[in-house]
Amino acid sequence: MLIKKVLIIGVLLIILVLAPVTAQGKETLAVLDFTTEAVSEVEMSAIVEFLSAELFRTDKYVVIDVSQRETILQEMEFSMQGCTDDSCALEIGKMLSAEMIVTGNLSKVGSRYLMSVKMLETETSRTMGTANGKYRDLDELIDGLELIAYTLADMEHEVETVAEKPTPEAEPEPVVEPEVETAKKLPVDDRSPVEAAKESAAEKKAEEAASDSDFNFLSFGVSAAGSVAYTASGILRSVAFVNRLAAEEAYDNYMTTVDDPGYLFSGDGDGDYEHLFSNYEGALVGSYANSGAAALASGTSFFLGDSYMSFGGKLTYGLSALAFAAGNVLSTMSCNNAIDSLNSYNDYMSAGSSSAEELWNNYESYHNSYQILQYSSYGLWGAGGLMAIASWFIPGEKTEVTPGLLPKIIITVGQFFLAGGNFTGTMAVNSRFSAEDAFDEYMSAGETAAANLFDTYQNYQDTYELMTYMSYGLWGAGAAAILTAMLLPVDSGADVAADFNNFSIRPALTGFGVEVDIKVK
């Protein structure tokens, strides 16, 4: 132990005593190991050694050799592993008796290397200089270390171009003064190396987004399939209730026909109650299946790699969600008008001549509204599907559609809200049908059963109203979520959730639900 202490004191005395003599007042500097992302330790160590050499060549600092640094730290039984913050780095600088230290981050995004370094004064923790760089490969990074060193040293970096010597056969040409190019200093800021590297990676993505090769065919194909499934879901839902309405009418005819009405209940044709109700169930199941598939496809499409759209494309995609939601609302309204028209027709058929004309006018009004709303919902569903597909091809400057994990999750939740609205909307209309049937039974029942039947009617009616409002809320929230996520600016801060280190979801510790953690900048 005594030998180690003597060796430490000896090395430090060499640095403290000999350095001022040989360096004539130059500051002592140590380059510490960089933090890395997707870069090997071997590459990082080589970069640190090269940068140390370049800083020494500026003739401004006494640079502590990397091997010398490691010897001192080993003798002090100190490990740099886990030392990733400035306070720890400054402590190492003090152990080395270095007046300045250089720390940094070296990361690799795709095939590019991103480096961000800064120089700190050991005694005051003050940032004396910073430099950032983006490089196509490792060779270009090594060539750029000279500029990094001069930038940290706050010195002009001169590159001399040597004039060509005249050939023996040619006459000597006038000597041209060599041109001196002054390298531009990189802007100095207070960003951490990790932040600078991530922002450089985001800039790289934005620069490359405009090329046609960045068109994500897989994401587009899945998204387009989801849009078609949404349109199909809405149409099948409408077809289902058209058949349910016809089935109700066939059942009423069956109950009021005296002479052999069996064919109206279960006949050989398509107009009997059983066939119509079976068609209703089949179309409804198809609507459910398409709605779920649409939410799954549209929600996950943006997880299948980076996708890019113009601002007009993002706006169009968001408005397509509004079109789908509006189509669903109009479809629900058309179903309600259809039920009202059927009730008005039944009232007209059983009314006296004095009120027949008024009841017929009511029937026509409900029936016309039903048809207008039904065709309008078809148009909105079709328009929504076309808008969602066309949004990928609208010209303009392309930017990333979902710059991070959080916008992707918002879009997915919005898609499932739209699908959930379809389920609750269907339940609402079914409850309306059940409420009408219960009311008819109540009107024709005796006093003993009347109270129970009215309670049944009231329960169905309350369920219908609750599910209707719930579906409207889900459709509105889903469309708003999708539109908001699509229009989030790339630099809004939503990209803090670009990876799972910055964004996490876990089951709630108490009650039901989940807990979301987001690290903000």
Residues 269 and 155 in one domain: no
CATH of the domain at 195: 3.40.50.10070
Give 90 or 186, the one with higher predicted confidence.
90
How far apart, in whole angstroms, are the C-alpha atoms of residue 232 and residue 234?
5
Residues 221 and 197 in one domain: no
Tell me what pLDDT residue 14 has: 45
pLDDT band at 173 (very low <50, low <70, confident <90, very high): low
pLDDT band at 318 (very low <50, low <70, confident <90, very high): confident
Last residue of a domain, which of 201, 236, 271? 201
Cβ count within 10 A of residue 66? 17
pLDDT for 488 beyond 70: yes
Give 211 or 358, the one with higher predicted confidence.
358
Short-list 497, 495, 515, CA closest to 506? 515
pLDDT band at 372 (very low <50, low <70, confident <90, very high): very high
Short-list 15, 161, 31, CA closest to 97? 15
Residues 188 and 237 in one domain: no
Query: What residues have CB less than 8 Å from 3, skipping those under 6 apart?
Result: none
Tell me what pLDDT residue 364 has: 87
Indicate the length of the chain as a whole number.
Answer: 521
pLDDT band at 31 (very low <50, low <70, confident <90, very high): very high
pLDDT for 380 beyond 50: yes
Residues 79 and 105 in one domain: yes
Residues 191 and 253 in one domain: no
Query: 3-class SS at 168?
Result: coil
Tell me what pLDDT residue 118 has: 93
Short-list 461, 448, 388, 393, CA closest to 418? 388
pLDDT band at 100 (very low <50, low <70, confident <90, very high): very high
Last residue of a domain, which of 201, 229, 246? 201
Tell me what pLDDT residue 213 has: 45
How far apart, in whole angstroms, are the C-alpha atoms of residue 19 and residue 219?
61
Give the whole-number percent of the chain exceeding pLDDT 70: 72
Give 205 or 377, the one with higher predicted confidence.
377
Tell me what pLDDT residue 4 has: 46
Residue 286 CB-density burial (10 A; 0-12 exposed, 13-18 middle, 19+ buried): middle
Question: Token digits for 293?
Answer: 């598939």
- Both ends of the chain: CA-CA distance in Å? 46
Considering only 58-67, 210-219, 313-322, 328-337, which range has the smallest mean pLDDT? Answer: 210-219
Q: Is residue 301 part of a domain?
A: yes
pLDDT band at 47 (very low <50, low <70, confident <90, very high): very high
Q: Is residue 206 part of a domain?
A: no
pLDDT for 183 beyond 90: no
Short-list 212, 221, 203, CA closest to 395? 212
Q: Is residue 516 part of a domain?
A: no
Residues 186 and 47 in one domain: yes
Short-list 123, 12, 112, 117, CA closest to 68? 12
Tell me what pLDDT residue 239 has: 85
Residues 178 and 246 in one domain: no
pLDDT for 177 beyond 60: no
pLDDT for 60 beyond 80: yes
Q: Is residue 147 part of a domain?
A: yes
pLDDT for 158 beyond 50: yes
With contact defined as beta carbons under 8 Å apart, do 434 and 460 qualify? yes
Give 29 or 502, the one with higher predicted confidence.
29
Question: Token digits for 146?
Answer: 């000279």
Q: Is residue 356 part of a domain?
A: yes
Considering only 11-25, 319-333, 356-370, which range has the smallest mean pLDDT? Answer: 11-25
Considering only 159-173, 252-266, 408-422, 464-478, which range has the smallest mean pLDDT? Answer: 159-173
Q: Is residue 209 part of a domain?
A: no
Amino acid identity of residue 487, one-letter, is L
Residues 472 and 345 in one domain: yes
Residues 17 and 53 in one domain: yes
Short-list 141, 151, 99, 154, CA closest to 124? 99
DSSP-derived secondary structure for 4-57: HHHHHHHHHHIIIIIHHHHHTTPEEEEEPPPEEES--HHHHHHHHHHHHHHHHH
With contact defined as beta carbons under 8 Å apart, do 131 and 153 qualify? no
> Which residue segment(s) compose the domain that 123 sits in?
2-201
| Average pLDDT along the chain | 76
Tell me what pLDDT residue 117 has: 93
pLDDT for 87 beyond 90: no
How many folded domains does the chain comprise? 2
Q: Is residue 140 part of a domain?
A: yes
Half-sphere exposure (CA, 13 Å, Cβ side) for 480? 6
Give 342 or 365, the one with higher predicted confidence.
365
Residues 422 and 340 in one domain: yes
Tens digit of pLDDT for each residue in 393-433?
888 888 877 777 788 888 888 889 988 888 888 888 888 88
Q: What is each CA distance from 469 to 17, 235, 336, 465, 506, in whole angstroms?
A: 83, 21, 14, 6, 30
Q: What is the 3-state secondary structure (H, E, C) of 458-514?
A: HHHHHHHHHHHHHHHHHHHHHHHHHHHHHCCCCCCCHHHHCCCCCEEEEECCCCCCE
Tell me what pLDDT residue 22 has: 42
Ranges of H-type helices in 58-192: 66-75, 86-95, 138-152
Residue 341 CB-density burial (10 A; 0-12 exposed, 13-18 middle, 19+ buried): buried
pLDDT for 163 beyond 60: no
Tens digit of pLDDT for each residue in 113-132?
999 999 999 999 899 889 99
Residues 398 and 424 in one domain: yes
Residues 106 and 224 in one domain: no
Span 445-464, mean pLDDT?
80
Tens digit of pLDDT for each residue in 329-363?
988 888 888 888 878 887 787 776 677 788 888 88
Tell me what pLDDT residue 122 has: 92
Tell me what pLDDT residue 493 has: 45
Q: Is residue 30 part of a domain?
A: yes
Q: What is each CA distance from 414 to 376, 404, 486, in whole angstroms?
A: 23, 16, 11
Tens digit of pLDDT for each residue in 225-280?
888 888 888 888 888 888 877 777 777 776 666 565 555 566 555 566 777 788 88
